[in-house]
Amino acid sequence: MKKIFSRPKSLKKAVFHYCPGCGHSIIHRIACEAIDELGIQEKAIGVPPPGCSVFAYYYFDVDMVESAHGRGAAVATGIKRAYPGAIVFTYQGDGDLSAIGTTETLHAANRGENITAIFINNAVYGMTGGQMAPTTMLGMKTTTSPYGRDDRFEGYPIKMSEILGQVRGTCYIERVAVNSPSNIRKARKAIKKAFQCQIDGLGYSLVEILSPCPTNWKKSPVEAWKWVGEVMAKEFPLGIIKDTTGKSDAD
């Protein structure tokens, strides 16, 4: 019998601690698939953030180092500069990358640091209990925007990927989602392409992934998947934001 599906080699055999319907476990898996396909498990160094995915090192079977909140891009810069032979990636949430770590992210991108960011956008602070994030939708209720995010007081959802697209040091930025089998396949391709950019030495690459957080959104997993497509993707349109590689597809 032909084996057509198995656990990725770079994904540890462990039970995910993530909530039912959470996007992290899917993203971990497809990132590991990309790592396997490119054969970079032995070179990869991941930088997970504080937050739900702080335990990413229990799942990724690659070297990993925890970063302080928001500092992933600076830590990754230090690793890559000290040891350019590594394939360095950060795994960052929306609060991490587009609030507390905006400066580190923007400047690492602007220096064209040859690193890859996997940017999870679920519109809330997950681990701390569902507070408003910089990417929270207008009108969306969170524990710190209990009346719904109001632009008069809380401003607008920030589009870091578009901002980073303006920066010359970035080579590839795409926004994807993990809310349907076909979108998950696209997300895997995008992650693989982002790693390929780093292998080719092209500069800073980033994949933003719209990811469901059913627990904090107070929705069922199915409702959360739908909400990603029907609401989030309207504010954060899917697709390539910047691509200087000249290749339309990683495959």
Partner 1 sequence: MNKMLFTGNAAIGEAAVRAGCQCYFGYPITPQNELTEYMANNLSRRPGCTFIQAESEIAAINMVYGASVAGVRAMTSSSGPGISLKQEGISFLAACQLPAVIVNMSRGGPGLGSIAAAQSDYHQATHGGGHGDYRTIVLGPSSVQELADLTYRAFEMSDKYLIPVMILGDGMLGQMMEPVEFKYEAPEVLPVRADALRGAKGRPSRFVRTFTSNPSELEELNWSLFRRYQLLQKEEVSFENYLTQDARLIVTAFGIGARIAKGAIKQARGYGMKVGLFRPITLFPFPREQLKELAKTTSYFLDFEMNMGQMIDDVKLSLEGAGEVSFYGRPGGVIPTSTELLRVISRIYSQKGLG
Q: Which residues bind partner 1 (CB under 8 A)?
A: 41-45, 47, 50, 54, 57, 60-68, 71, 74-83, 85-87, 103-104, 106-107, 111
Q: How far is the CB of 100 from partner 1 (least distance, A)?
A: 10
What span, in angstroms and rounded, lies between the C-alpha atoms of 87 and 40? 7
> Nearest to residue 123, comparing CAs of 69, 48, 177?
177
**Whole-number minimum distance, CB 104 to partner 1, in Å?**
5
* Least distance CB 91 / partner 1 (angstroms): 12
Phi and psi torsions of 38, nearest 5°: -90, -5
Q: How far apart are CA 248 and CA 155, in angstroms?
A: 35
Which one, 17 or 247, has the nearer CB to partner 1?
17
Helix orientation angle between 23-38 and 181-199, rounded to the nearest 10 degrees: 40
Residue 17 vs 185, nearer CB to partner 1 = 17
Number of CB atoms found within 10 A of residue 129's CB: 12
Please report the beta strands in 79-169, taking only residues with DSSP state E, as ranges in sequence order: 87-93, 116-121, 124-125, 131-132
Give 248: exposed, middle or buried? Use CB within 10 Å, 0-12, 13-18, 19+.
exposed
Residue found by looking up tokens 């990754």 in the block = 76
- Structure token digits, residue 181: 């089998």
Tally of CA atoms within 13 A in the half-sphere of 88 that contains its CB: 26
* Residue 165 phi, psi dihedral angles, 5° rounding: -65, -25
Output the smallest distance, CB 66 to partner 1, in A: 4
Shortest approach of partner 1 to residue 69 CB, angstroms?
A: 9
Output 100 or 158, the one with its CB closest to partner 1: 100
**Closest distance between partner 1 and the C-beta of residue 135, in Å?**
22
Comparing CB distances to partner 1, the nearer of 63 and 162 is 63
Compute the least distance from the CB of residue 169 to partner 1, in Å.
13
Our CB check for partner 1 shows the closer of 94 and 104 to be 104
Cβ-based nearer residue to partner 1, 63 or 243: 63
Residue 74, both tokens: 């600076």
Judged by beta carbon, residue 106 or residue 177, the one nearer partner 1 is 106
Which residue bears the tokens 């396909």? 37
